[in-house]
Structure 1
Amino acid sequence: MVGEHVDSLATVLDLVRSQTARTRPEIGRLSGLGRTVVTQRVNELTECGLLEEGSLGPSSGGRAPRELRFRARAGVILAAELGATSIGVGVTDLAGTVLAEHSEATDIARGPDAVLERVEEIADDLLDRVRAEAGDAELAVWGAGVGLPGPVEFATGRPSAPPIMPGWDGYPVRDRLAHRYDTPVWVDNEVNTMALGELRAGSARGQRDLLYVKIGTGIGAGLVSGGTLHRGSQGCAGDIGHAAVADDTDVVCRCGNTGCLEAYAGGAALARDGLAAAREGRSQFLADVLASTGTVTAADLSRAAQSGDRVAVELLTRAGRLIGNLLATLVSFYNPALVIIGGGVANAGDLLLAAVRETVYRRSLPLATRELRITRSTLSDRAGLVGAAFMAIDELFTPERLARWVGGGSPAGSPGLVEVPLRAPLL
C-alpha cells in the first residue's frame, strides 16, 4: 500500500476503534477525508474483518447512517507482567478488555527459563479457556506484550543488566515467545507498561503529560509526554530507583552502587530496616511479627505504622520524603499535569503517599504544582497487565505495520512485524 492510502486506512480504523467516530459522516468530519475515500476505506476494513455494521445511528435530517463497530473479538492479545515477586498473565481482546487472567507469587531470580515456562503454561490455560468460551478453537493470537522488572532494550526485547534478575541479562524474551506463539511480541520495562495501562484505561485517560511512579520491591517511573510513552534512546528512561539520594557508602544497592533511592525507600529497603528495628527491640509490633513469622516485610511495616508504631511511622515518612524530593526535581523539570503512584508499597497505606505529596508540593516550583494532581493508581495491580496488552495493540495498528498485514486480515503468524520501522513515534 502507498503511504496516503494506508494513512487514511489507519485513520478511519483508529477513529472507530477508539469510538471517537461511529458513523461514516462522523469519520468524514473528524478526519477531513472525502465521502468517497471514507466509503472505500470502511469497505476495505469491513471486507478484511476489522469493522462491522451495527444499528442505525441518529439522523441529522436525512437517512439515518449505519453505525460502525470495531471487531474487538476478531483475535486476542497475550499480556504478561513479571514483577520481582509475582507474575500476572492475561488474555485480552483487541480493545484491551481483559477476558481471562491469573496471577501468582514467584521469584524472578529463579531465572528466565523457569519463570517463562510458567508464564507459557498459564497463557496456554487461559487461551484454552477463552477459546472455549468463544466457541472458536482457532481464535488467533494477534500479538503479545510483556513487562519485565528491569531495564529492557526495547528494540530487541532483551533485558539489559537487570539488577534484580540474575540470569536474565541479554535473554531473548521476545524471540522465545514469538517462536512459541508465532506472533509479534513486544517487551518493555514493567513500569512503562503500568504507565501505558493508566494512560489507556486508568486515571490518566485524556492526559498528555504525566509521571507514573511504582513503589514496590524497587522504584521506577514511566514518563508520558505529549500523549506518547517516552522510553529514551535505549529504553531505560525513568529508572529513578538508581538515582543517588545520599552519600552514605554503607548502604549498597542491588545494582552495586551506593546511595540509590531504591536502597533507602524501596520495599526491600523498608523490609530490611523494619527487620533491624525488630531485632534491636526498637519496635514491639515488628518484634512480635518477627517472632511469629520469622521475617518482616514492607506490608508488615505499613500495618505497624497504621497501629501507631513510632519506628514504622518514621521509616515510611522518611521513605516518602526521599521519593518526594526526587519527584520534586522531576516535576519542576518536566512539569506533568498528573503524578500517579502505584506499586505494592504505595498501596499499603496513606502515610507514605502523604509524605510524597507534602514534599513535592513544598519543594517544586509553584508554577509546576499549580494544577498538579498526585494520586494513587486506579488500576492498581492490573496496570502493568493492561498496559502490556495495549503496548502490543498500539504497535500492531501503526500505519506501517497495518500495511503489512491488513490484506491478510490478521497479524497472527507474522512475528517479524516487530522489525518494521516506524516513521514517527506512536501517538
Structure 2
Amino acid sequence: MANERINGLAAILSAIRAGTGVTQPMLVERIGLGRSVVAQRVAELEAAGLIEGAGVGPSSGGRAPRRLRLRASRGLLLGVDIAATELVVGVADLGGTVLGTRQRAIDVADGPEVVLALAERFADELLGGRTAPVWAVGVGVPGPVEFRTGLPVAPPIMPGWDQYPIRDRLAARFRAPVWVDNDVNLMALGELRSAPGAATAGHMLYVRVGVGIGAAVVMDGRLYRGAKGAAGDIGHVAIPEGGNTICRCGNIGCLEAVAGGVALGREGRMLAESRQSPALAAILAETGDIRPMDVTRAATRGDQAAQALLGRTAALLGSTLATLVSFYNPHLLVLGGGIVRAEAHVLPTIREVIHRRALPLATRDLRIEVSGLPEEISGLTGAVCLALDELFAPATLETWLETGDPTARPAPPPDSRTSPATR
C-alpha cells in the first residue's frame, strides 16, 4: 500500500491535472495538507520532471504565486478501443490531448492475433517521428475483463480471446505499463472526464446499447468494477420477454438477444422480407442487408413498422433499466452506443417506462440523458483516461517515481484499485 508521501504526491498531481492555473495556495486549500508539505511535494514533482511553472496567479497581498501544470510533453499514451465491429487506436500526451487516431472496421471474432497485430501497426504509424516515449497504454474490449490481471474471461462475442494475455503482449511490445478493461467502463470514464454533468453527478449508470448491451457503475465519482471486474454486465440477464431466443452467449432469453443491435437488425430484416416495412424493404433490395442504423433511418423517414420496432426495443430496455434504477438509485443515467442515433424514437419510451416502473424516490431527481461524446471516440477517450488515472495512481506512482520513468517497470502493480477514478 502506498505511503502518506506517495498519496500526497498523487493527490497533488491529480489536482494539477484536473484544473488549469492551479497554484500552491490552491493545493493547500483543496488537498488539506500543510503549506510546507505541499511545497516539499511540489518541489519533488518538479525535480522528477512531472510538473512545471506556468506563469503567476493572482496575488492576495504578498508575492504572486506560481501557476503549475503537468509537463504533458514528457511522455505519450496509447489508447486502444476494440469494439465488436471496429478498432480505434489513438496517441495522446500526458494531459490527455489526443494527437492522432487510426480507425478501421473489424470483426472481433477474427481473434486476438489478427486484431492486436492491426492495433500494433496503427500504433507504430501514430508514433512514427515522435521522440517522446510511450508511458502507458489503455485498452478496452467488448467483454468481461478481470481487471486485476487484465485477462478477458469467457467473453460471449469474442471467440479465441478467453484468457488471452493482452496486457503482457502490449507491455512487451511497447515497453510500458498496460491496463485492460471492459469497453463500457471506458466509455463511462470518458463521459466522466468530458461531460460536466457526469463529473458532478456522483452516482451514475452508463448504459451502452449497440451490438451488445452493457453498463458501467459510477459511485461517488469513481468507477466501480465489483469483486472481479464484472459489475454492470447486464446484457446477459434473463428477461421474461426473452422467451426461447438464443443469445450469442449460449443461454436463452437474454436482454441482449432481444434488444441488442443484432436483434434489431434481425427483426428489421424480417419486416423488410415480409414487406411490412416499405422503407426497410427498399434498403434490403439496395444493400442486401439490414443493420440497426437502417431501422433508425427508416423510422426517421416515417416508416411505421420501423418506429414500432424501435418502440418495442425501448420498452424492453426501459423495463430492465427501471430495475437497475430502483436497485442503485443513481443521480444520472447516460445512454451511449448506437442507440444514440435513435434518440428521438427511443428516449421518450425509455423515460416513460423507467418513471412508471421504478420506485418514485429513485426517479424523483433522476436525469436520463444520451452521451455527449460521439460513439467513435468515446471508447478511445476512456482508454486514454484509464491509462492516465492508473499511471498516476498512488500504487503505480510508487513503483516508478524514483526513476522518473514508468517504462522501466512495464507491468502494472498486482492490484491498482487505489486509482482516484476507480475502485
Q: How does 1:4-19 map to 2 (within 5 A)?
A: 4-19=4-19
Deviation of 1:206 (Å): 2.0
| Cα 1:391–1:424 shift into 2, 3 Å | closer
SS of residue paired to 2:207 = strand
Deviation of 1:149 (Å): 0.6
Are residues 1:234 and 2:228 paired? yes
* Structure 2 CA distance for aligned equivalents of residues 148 and 322 of structure 1: 25
CA deviation map 1:51-78 (0-9, x unaligned):
1112121110111111111112211110
| Cα 1:266–1:123 shift into 2, 3 Å | same
Q: Which runs of 5+ in 1 are unaligned?
A: 132-136
- Determine which of 156, 162, 165 is the counterpart of 2:158: 165
Greater shift, 251-260 or 15-24, is seen at 15-24
Greater shift, 382-391 or 318-327, is seen at 382-391
Contact 1:275-1:296 within 8 A present in 2 as well? yes
Deviation of 1:3 (Å): 1.5
Q: How does 1:2-401 map to 2 (within 5 A)?
A: 3-19=3-19, 22-128=22-128, 131=130, 137=131, 139-202=132-195, 203-246=197-240, 249-381=243-375, 382-401=377-396
- Give the letter for the 1:172 counterpart: P
Contact 1:88-1:102 within 8 A present in 2 as well? yes
Greater shift, 349-358 or 284-293, is seen at 349-358
Contact 2:214-2:235 within 8 A present in 1 as well? yes
| Cα 1:29–1:249 shift into 2, 3 Å | closer
* Structure 2 CA distance for aligned equivalents of residues 421 and 342 of structure 1: 27
Query: Which residue of structure 2 aligns with residue 407 of structure 1?
Result: 402
- Give the letter for the 1:228 counterpart: R
Q: Normalising to structure 1: TM-score of the pair?
A: 0.94
| Cα 1:373–1:421 shift into 2, 3 Å | closer
* Structure 2 CA distance for aligned equivalents of residues 151 and 420 of structure 1: 17
Identity %: 51
SS of residue paired to 1:212 = strand
Deviation of 1:5 (Å): 1.8
SS of residue paired to 1:323 = helix
- Give the letter for the 1:88 counterpart: V
Deviation of 1:17 (Å): 1.8
* Structure 2 CA distance for aligned equivalents of residues 12 and 239 of structure 1: 34
The structure 1 segments of at least 4 consecutive aligned residues displaced by more than 3 Å after TM superposition are 247-250, 420-427
Contact 2:52-2:68 within 8 A present in 1 as well? yes
Contact 1:214-1:346 within 8 A present in 2 as well? no
Greater shift, 195-204 or 220-229, is seen at 195-204
* Structure 2 CA distance for aligned equivalents of residues 38 and 419 of structure 1: 29
* Structure 2 CA distance for aligned equivalents of residues 317 and 111 of structure 1: 35
Contact 2:178-2:411 within 8 A present in 1 as well? no
Deviation of 1:425 (Å): 7.2
Across the aligned residues of Structure 1 and Structure 2, the Cα RMSD in angstroms comes to: 1.8
Deviation of 1:21 (Å): 7.0
Q: Which runs of 5+ in 2 are unaligned?
A: none
* Structure 2 CA distance for aligned equivalents of residues 156 and 349 of structure 1: 37
SS of residue paired to 2:408 = coil
SS of residue paired to 2:84 = coil
Query: Which residue of structure 2 aligns with residue 134 of structure 1?
Result: none
- Give the letter for the 1:239 counterpart: D
| Cα 1:308–1:155 shift into 2, 3 Å | same
| Cα 1:420–1:404 shift into 2, 3 Å | farther
Contact 2:311-2:349 within 8 A present in 1 as well? yes
Contact 2:135-2:177 within 8 A present in 1 as well? yes
SS of residue paired to 2:232 = coil
Query: Which residue of structure 2 aligns with residue 417 of structure 1?
Result: 412
* Structure 1 CA distance for aligned equivalents of residues 336 and 38 of structure 2: 42
Deviation of 1:2 (Å): 7.5
Deviation of 1:380 (Å): 2.3
* Structure 2 CA distance for aligned equivalents of residues 214 and 324 of structure 1: 13
- Give the letter for the 2:126 counterpart: L
Greater shift, 340-349 or 55-64, is seen at 340-349
- Give the letter for the 1:115 counterpart: V
Q: Normalising to structure 2: TM-score of the pair?
A: 0.95
* Structure 2 CA distance for aligned equivalents of residues 390 and 374 of structure 1: 24
Deviation of 1:125 (Å): 0.8
